[in-house]
Amino acid sequence: MNVNQAKDRIEELSMELEGHNHQYYVLSQPTISDFEFDQLLKELERLEEEFPLLALPNSPTKRVGGDITKKFASVVHDFPMLSLSNTYSKEEIIEWENRLKKIADGEIEFVCELKYDGVAIGIRYVDGVFNRAVTRGDGTRGEEVGANVKTIKSIPLQLREGDYPNDFEIRGEIFFPLQRFDALNEQREKDDEPKFANPRNTASGTLKMQDSSVVASRGLDCYLYGLYSKETLKDSHWGSIQAAGDWGFKIPDTNARMVEKMKDIEDIMDFIEYWDEHRHNLPFEIDGVVIKVNDYRQQDELGFTAKSPRWAIAYKFKSEEVTTVLESVTYQVGRTGAVTPVANLTPVLLAGTVVKRASLHNSDQIAELDLRIGDTVYVEKGGEIIPKVTAVDMSKRGLQVQPLEYISHCPECDTLLIRNEGEAKHYCPNDASCPPQIKGKMEHFISRKAMDIDGLGTETIDQLFESGLIKNSADLYHLTRSDLLPLERMAEKSVENMLAGLEASKEVPFERVLFSLGIRYVGETVAKTLARQYGSIEALRIASEEDLVEVDEIGERIAESVVEFFSREDNSKIVQSLMSSGLRFDIPEEERNQGTDILKGQAFVISGVFERHSRDELKSLIEQNGGKNTSSISSKTSYVLAGEGMGPSKKEKAEKLKVPIISESDFEAMLA
């Protein structure tokens, strides 16, 4: 293919793929299969790789992310990003409407729309092309998060044909669709990572992540609700929003009553009531409705107060609250031994779900609420997933209610609880034999970033523990077919998989085995450092605190924890047993001696896919030879080690900063 043919094909594919994105993410009407889409995307990626200079700046290949932003640029908004005045009262909406009638000329038409509960964004388009995306910040200045916003598939990178201004900004709300949010939390639970509290904060956090490919994988979405330009716009809010839909933006669906034009206060009230009742059926969260004057001329007439436009108001839904009876309080012990009191309630309907339990956080909160069994309590669903008890209805308290006494001993193992000074929670110190704590350790041991044992999950760990077959991680390696087959849900195939997974885990390198042991404060990176420094568990075991703090990046807290771990007999026994089962407790001699300092002082960025080595292998080779791995290209980067599929923007950046781009063979030659 010559350059001209490639240019034509790149343009054609970019247009076609953006068209399919629009069909799928904006209109929810895909016209080709995911497989066909991927084939086209791959073809475009190959062409952009071969002819990097021809890649369009807003190519659909950018949607998968990959650009890393270390620090987001601070940008002054062309139009200040104001907020809305809020009210929880319908009377105030009526008063607002009356006020407007007195100021504005002629009859007022309103547009009612949803108040999406997410993060505000302003996206600028120049000549129909995505130019930048800026967060609200302090209203005057925000952060440029364009690389991340580009991964949101319902946001067009190139507008469809239309009469849009040459330079304009469109504002909207980026949110986390509930299904994607739940799936993310499910995955985090499986991976032993703490769950996110609510979709709004998670959307906000995601938007500020440095790695745009992670943002792409999260599946954020966006509705647009306002147009700003120094050029002439349509003459009404409604007209602008409908036009934005034609240009390719995702706008609220009129058929689903997500947006409505109305003249009457009764219609406005009806819209509010409809959404107060139906909001839980939406696939995303809203926290109210917004009422706006439709006509731009009237909007100008009404103007602004210091903080918000007079022509718009938000009616916010009350965070839902119900009353029910507190039947009992039980106590949960987490993996770290932390105790959490849980209120067991008479089941009650709240925000569309039946609630039977609510969180009580800690003993101070129970005391503050002056809580007693049998009390009628207020339960609220705020931003968090788990509802909470907010107050007691004292008017309903009878004489018979029992004062609530906080437990003094662990409900799981009966050990006396401790409470460290300055901490709110009580802890069970018995980490050696308190069941949820040992189960927690084993769950960590098998998790993806630790031993990553195929065929073995959290539920199986529970089952094996309950049946008495395992008491610690080392016991896993003594399980036999005949132990496992009689267990419920353990078919022949699952037993085979699990045993094969355990066998395969004996090849897991020392640094991950060390991480799997669950030594307090020894996370992935510290485990790697210690493994490399000491080379074997024997050497690490006899290291003193003084030796340990000599190691780069190892502080006193870690040193103390490592020494304490090895001083305990139960831990030593587990390590001994794992060793005799054949797990790797040292770095093999060949690997240890491979190290040189050929690459000392050199910083590498690895990008793309390679023929002879995996990216992890290359990273290890760099480190073993004294070099450093970094994730984004800067003036400090010594080399970009590029394989197939290196992104065009990385290439551009390397060229701009004059950082040499080397191939896998160049790198091998360097080491030779």
Catalytic residues: 115
Q: How far is it, in rounded angstroms, from Cα 446 to Cα 449?
A: 8
Segment near ligand IVH (CB under 6 A), from 47-55, 63-71, 306-314, 425-433? 306-314
Question: Residue for token digits 């916003």?
Answer: 149
Two structure tokens written together for 101: 């009638």
From 10, 56, 84, 641, residue interacting with ligand IVH (rule: CB under 6 A): 84
Q: Is 238 in the site for ligand IVH (CB under 6 A)?
A: no
Segment near ligand IVH (CB under 6 A), from 110-118, 456-464, 554-562, 634-642? 110-118
Tell me which residue of 155, 105, 97 sits closest to 130, measured CA to CA.
155
Rg (CA), the chain: 30
Q: How far is it, in rounded angstroms, from Cα 285 to Cα 103?
A: 34
Question: Residue for token digits 């523990």?
Answer: 465
Least spacing, CB of residue 287 vs ligand IVH, in Å: 8
AA letter at 360: L
Least spacing, CB of residue 170 vs ligand IVH, in Å: 12
Contact (CB, 8 A) for 100 and 310:
yes
Question: What three-state secondary structure class fits 406?
Answer: coil
Two structure tokens written together for 373: 């069994």
Q: Which residues contact 269 (CB under 8 A, 6 or more apart)?
A: 90, 93
Residues 42-71 within binding reach of ligand IVH (CB under 6 A): none
Q: Which residue's CB is nearer to ligand IVH, number 173 or number 443?
A: 173
Least spacing, CB of residue 302 vs ligand IVH, in Å: 12
Q: Is 112 in the site for ligand IVH (CB under 6 A)?
A: no
Tell me which residue of 661, 652, 516 sits closest to 575, measured CA to CA.
516
Least spacing, CB of residue 538 vs ligand IVH, in Å: 58
Segment near ligand IVH (CB under 6 A), from 69-77, 109-117, 152-160, 201-209? 109-117
Least spacing, CB of residue 309 vs ligand IVH, in Å: 5
Least spacing, CB of residue 293 vs ligand IVH, in Å: 12
HSE-up (13 A, CA, CB side) for residue 515 = 21
From 37, 51, 110, 116, residue interacting with ligand IVH (rule: CB under 6 A): 116
Segment near ligand IVH (CB under 6 A), from 54-62, 115-123, 353-361, 389-397? 115-123
Q: Which residue's CB is nearer to ligand IVH, number 247 or number 315?
A: 315
Q: Is 315 in the site for ligand IVH (CB under 6 A)?
A: no
Least spacing, CB of residue 312 vs ligand IVH, in Å: 6
Contact (CB, 8 A) for 650 and 66:
yes
Q: Is 413 in the site for ligand IVH (CB under 6 A)?
A: no
Q: Which residue's CB is nearer to ligand IVH, number 115 or number 180?
A: 115
List, in sequence order, every residue forming a beta bridge with 135; answer none if it has no partner: 121
Least spacing, CB of residue 86 vs ligand IVH, in Å: 7
Q: Which residue's CB is nearer to ligand IVH, number 134 or number 540?
A: 134
Q: Which residues contact 27 (CB under 8 A, 6 or more apart)?
A: none
| DSSP conformation class of 268 | H
What is the DSSP track for 231-264?
S---SBHHHHHHHHHHHT-----TTTTSEEEES-
Q: Is 82 in the site for ligand IVH (CB under 6 A)?
A: yes
Residues 431-490 within binding reach of ligand IVH (CB under 6 A): none
Two structure tokens written together for 41: 């995307």
Residue 231 to residues 228, 234, 258, 442, Cα–Cα distance (Å) = 9, 10, 28, 63
Q: Is 290 in the site for ligand IVH (CB under 6 A)?
A: yes
Segment near ligand IVH (CB under 6 A), from 113-121, 151-159, 338-346, 576-584? 113-121
From 18, 67, 113, 443, residue interacting with ligand IVH (rule: CB under 6 A): 113
Q: Is 332 in the site for ligand IVH (CB under 6 A)?
A: no
Q: Is 268 in the site for ligand IVH (CB under 6 A)?
A: no
Q: How far is it, in rounded angstroms, from Cα 103 to Cα 550?
A: 74
Two structure tokens written together for 508: 């897991």
Contact (CB, 8 A) for 157 and 149:
no
Residues 509-548 within binding reach of ligand IVH (CB under 6 A): none
Q: E strand or H helix at 361, and its extent? A: none
Tell me the per-residue interface mask from 194 to 233 with ligand IVH, x by CB under 6 A, - otherwise: -------------------------------xx-------
| DSSP conformation class of 25 | I
Q: Directed axis angle between helix 199-207 and helix 178-190, to 10°? A: 80
Q: Which residue's CB is nearer to ligand IVH, number 226 or number 245?
A: 226
Question: What three-state secondary structure class fits 658?
Answer: coil
From 13, 75, 120, 659, residue interacting with ligand IVH (rule: CB under 6 A): 120
Segment near ligand IVH (CB under 6 A), from 304-312, 587-595, 629-637, 662-670? 304-312
Tell me the per-residue interface mask from 168 to 187 with ligand IVH, x by CB under 6 A, - otherwise: -----x--------------
Residues 553-612 within binding reach of ligand IVH (CB under 6 A): none
Residue 198 to residues 152, 181, 284, Cα–Cα distance (Å) = 19, 8, 11
| DSSP conformation class of 23 | I
Total chain residues near ligand IVH (CB under 6 A): 15
Q: How far is it, in rounded angstroms, from Cα 355 to Cα 156?
A: 41
List, in sequence order, every residue forming a beta bridge with 402; answer none if it has no partner: 373
Segment near ligand IVH (CB under 6 A), from 305-313, 547-555, 592-600, 626-634? 305-313
* Strand ranges, E, within 103-193: 110-116, 119-126, 129-135, 141-143, 167-175
Q: Which residue's CB is nearer to ligand IVH, number 200 or number 651?
A: 200
Segment near ligand IVH (CB under 6 A), from 107-115, 439-447, 588-596, 645-653? 107-115
From 83, 187, 346, 596, residue interacting with ligand IVH (rule: CB under 6 A): 83
From 115, 310, 372, 532, residue interacting with ligand IVH (rule: CB under 6 A): 115
Q: How far is it, in rounded angstroms, from Cα 138 to Cα 335?
A: 39
AA letter at 66: G
Least spacing, CB of residue 182 vs ligand IVH, in Å: 22
- Give the residues lining the site for ligand IVH (CB under 6 A): 82-84, 113-116, 120, 173, 225-226, 290, 308-309, 312
